[in-house]
Amino acid sequence: MSAKEYFDTLSEIFEDGNEVAQTLSEQLSSAGESALSDGGSEANFIHMKETKVYCGDSKSTPSKGEILWRGKLSEVDGFFLGKIYDSSNK
């Protein structure tokens, strides 16, 4: 997902909260606008939606709602995109 979509989605999570949450929502929305205006600059982060967290070979960590993930590209050693499945359990 784009950085703008990432920040806009986070902003929506907090927009109906208390005063502090609303301030955070506004700041996240501003960060999304800033990311949009930096469209020509070098990417430093990867943003993903509908992510799942696994510990070893167990099931994914239970969660409510959409899980967003942001990682520094300079810290990523390697990754893959897609689902892992055990073909022997058909």
Domain spans, the chain: 3-75
For a pLDDT cut of 70, what percent of the chain falls above it? 88
Residue 42 has pLDDT above 90, yes or no: no
pLDDT for the residue numbered 89: 56
Q: Look at residue 81 in the predicted model and tell me its pLDDT.
A: 74
Closest C-alpha to 54, from 62, 65, 46: 62
